Amino acid sequence: MAGLMIRPGCCLLTLVALATPALAQQDPFRVVNGARLPAIALHVVPSGHEGWGPNQLTRGPLQPGATLSMHPPGSAGCRFDLRLQLQDGQEAVRRDADICKDRTVVLGAIDAPPRP
């Protein structure tokens, strides 16, 4: 035991690195409507979940370029499947998005032409 030396800075860095994903799960993340049309539905479920769950746009359509801030459930982890349904019926889907790493998720290509 005499030769064992613990470096406090090293341990602190390790604890911070391990705690970062857990802390990120508690912070809100943002979903941006990157399409040219209003979105009428947004579904966010843990990756691999069956079905899409309820519509998260409870206050009406999400306008082009607008952002919705959301708090993920504490036990849901970091990876989510997201689906944005546009006014004309088009959908933008992102699977396995890591919201702990990327706090802003843009759905729908801003430069996509409108559907005929």
Which residue, 101, 99, 92, 42, is CA-closest to 67?
42
**According to the per-residue pLDDT averaged within each range, which of 17-21, 26-30, 40-44, 106-110 is highest?**
40-44
Q: Residue 104: in which H helix or E strand, if any?
A: strand 104-107
Using DSSP's 3-state secondary structure scheme, residue 47 falls into: coil
pLDDT band for 110, please (50, 70, 90 cuts): low
Q: Is the pLDDT of residue 113 over 70?
A: no
> pTM for the complete prediction?
0.72
pLDDT tens-digit profile of 31-76?
A: 999 999 999 999 999 998 899 999 999 999 999 999 999 988 777 8
Give the mean model confidence (pLDDT) for residues 84-102: 96
Using DSSP's 3-state secondary structure scheme, residue 7 falls into: coil
